[in-house]
Amino acid sequence: MAVKGEDVFVCIVFGLALVGFVYVTVRGVGIICDYFRGPLCPMAYNPDGLGYELKNKLFGQHLASRVILKAVKGFMADPNPSKPLVLSLHGSSGTGKNLVAKIIAQNLFEGGEFSSQVHLFIATHHFPHPAHLETYKVQLQQWIRGNVSTCARSMFIFDEMDKMNPVLTDTLKCFLDHYAQVDGVSFTHAIFLFLSNQGGHLINQMALEFWEADRQREEIELNSQGLETAINKDVFNNKNSGFWRSSLLDSHVVDYFVPFLPLEYKHVFMCALAEMSALGLAPDTSMARNVVADMPYFPQEERLFSVKGCKSVKQRLKYYI
Binding residues for ATP: 91-98
Can you tell me the distance from the alpha carbon of 32 to that of 23, in angstroms, rounded to the nearest whole number?
Answer: 5
Q: Are 248 and 44 in contact (CB under 8 A)?
A: no
Can you tell me the distance from the alpha carbon of 10 to that of 30, in angstroms, rounded to the nearest whole number?
Answer: 34
Q: What strand order describes the sheet that includes 85-91?
A: 118-122, 155-159, 191-196, 85-91, 256-260
Can you tell me the distance from the alpha carbon of 223 to that of 225, in angstroms, rounded to the nearest whole number?
Answer: 6
Can you tell me the distance from the alpha carbon of 172 to that of 157, in angstroms, rounded to the nearest whole number?
Answer: 12
- Beta-bridged to residue 298, according to DSSP, are 305
Taking CA atoms, 211 is separated from 17, 98, 202, 206, in Å, by: 56, 26, 14, 9
Can you tell me the distance from the alpha carbon of 151 to that of 33, in angstroms, rounded to the nearest whole number?
Answer: 9
Q: What angle do CA 110, 112, 116 make, to 5 degrees?
A: 70
Q: What angle do CA 282, 304, 258 make, to 5 degrees?
A: 85
Where does residue 56 rank: exposed (0-12), middle (13-18), buried (19+ CB within 10 A)?
A: exposed
Q: Are 67 and 174 in contact (CB under 8 A)?
A: no
Q: Are 88 and 229 in contact (CB under 8 A)?
A: no
Binding-site positions: 91-98
Can you tell me the distance from the alpha carbon of 53 to that of 62, in angstroms, rounded to the nearest whole number?
Answer: 12
